[in-house]
């Protein structure tokens, strides 16, 4: 397994110190929430994009991909209306293009509020998602990147709120560029212990590692070792990507604690 970290842990949009610190602490990749860098990612300048790509490469890192894709786009609702659905799919395909342009590998769709059923039946939305996510996966295939669905707890979203539902959707879309993503915090909301969920579902393409409420790994619980063991047993070879919100008013300290803890688990 490889180690990466998301920039949501970082207090500012400036990435120089974040990237160099990730490399020095033992990461081989970074994951970006584009809205954390730009208010309107699709309107970012080519020079800005090239600058970040150069910073990543100069730090000997790779861009794992984008996540928190719709964080500032509360207006985009997948299932509110046909028009809203089309606008959301178009925006996500445009992000896929941007991600590929910057050398990224994956798009991770969390965005729980954007997945509200809006009063509609789950099965109807499921069918619509198969269509839309297939379209995004087609675009991703052209760019040789991947699109992943992230199951999130029922307290956060009405659509794909368990690993089982995520697996069902991945199998229904049935596309080589559409995959399952798992998140440690979300797994803790399942009725079955996280490690058993990992063992009983398809192997994830990507994995976010954290403690409850996106806390620093190992600061609240001690269940991450068994999750990593389960991933190893599934022959998972992707990234363990630290997804943490800093609550210590010291991004560098939070980053250091997070990466150091996870690296020890990987190196055991």
Q: What is the pLDDT along the chain (268 residues), one digit of tens a residue?
A: 999 999 999 987 789 999 999 999 999 999 999 999 999 999 999 999 999 999 999 999 999 999 999 999 999 999 999 999 999 999 999 999 999 999 999 999 999 999 999 999 999 999 999 999 999 999 999 999 999 999 999 999 999 999 999 999 999 999 999 999 999 999 999 999 999 999 999 999 999 999 999 999 999 999 999 999 999 999 999 999 999 997 767 899 999 999 999 999 998 7
Tell me the pTM. 0.96
Q: Residue 74, class by beta-carbon neighbours within 10 Å (0-12 exposed, 13-18 middle, 19+ buried)? A: exposed
Distances from the Cα of 173 to the Cαs of 82, 93, 130, in angstroms?
A: 19, 16, 5
* Dihedral (CA of 186, 95, 15, 250) sign: negative
pLDDT of residue 13: 77
H helix or E strand, kind and range, residue 163: helix 163-173
**Paired residues of 179 in beta bridges:** 148
Helices (H), 29-152: 34-37, 46-58, 82-101, 122-143
H helix or E strand, kind and range, residue 168: helix 163-173
Residue 3 to residue 146: CA distance in whole angstroms? 18
Q: Under a CB-based contact definition with an 8 Å cutoff, are residues 42 and 98 in contact?
A: yes
pLDDT of residue 268: 76
B/e letters for 213-251, b = 16+ CB within 10 Å, e = fewer, are: ebbbbbbeeebbeebbebbeeeebebbbbbbbebeeeeb
pLDDT of residue 90: 98
pLDDT of residue 248: 62
Residue 45 backbone phi and psi in degrees, to 5: -80, 155
pLDDT of residue 11: 86
Fold of the domain spanning 2-267:
TIM Barrel (3.20.20)
């Amino acid at each position: 397994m490889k180690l990466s970290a998301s920039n949501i842990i970082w207090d500012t949009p400036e990435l120089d110190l974040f990237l160099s610190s990730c490399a020095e602490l033992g990461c081989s990749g970074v994951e970006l929430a584009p809205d954390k860098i730009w208010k309107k990612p699709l309107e970012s300048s080519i020079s800005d994009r090239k600058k970040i790509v150069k910073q990543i490469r100069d730090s000997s890192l790779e861009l794992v991909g984008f996540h928190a894709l719709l964080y500032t786009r509360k207006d985009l609702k997948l299932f509110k209306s046909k028009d809203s659905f089309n606008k959301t799919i178009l925006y996500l395909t445009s992000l896929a293009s941007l991600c590929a342009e910057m050398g990224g590998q994956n798009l991770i769709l969390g965005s729980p509020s954007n997945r509200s059923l809006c009063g509609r039946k789950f099965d109807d939305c499921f069918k619509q998602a198969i269509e839309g996510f297939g379209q995004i996966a087609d675009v991703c295939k052209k760019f040789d990147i991947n699109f992943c669905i992230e199951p999130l707890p029922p307290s956060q979203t009405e659509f794909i709120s368990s690993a089982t539902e995520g697996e069902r959707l991945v199998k229904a879309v049935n596309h080589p560029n559409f995959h399952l993503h798992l998140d440690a915090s979300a797994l803790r909301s399942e009725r079955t212990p996280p490690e058993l969920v990992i063992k009983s579902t398809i192997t994830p393409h990507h994995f976010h590692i954290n403690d409850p409420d996106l806390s620093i790994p190992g600061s609240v619980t001690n269940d991450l070792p068994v999750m990593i063991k389960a991933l190893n047993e599934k022959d998972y070879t992707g990234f363990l990507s630290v997804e943490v919100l800093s609550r210590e008013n010291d991004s560098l300290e939070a980053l250091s604690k997070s990466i150091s803890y996870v690296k020890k688990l990987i190196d055991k």
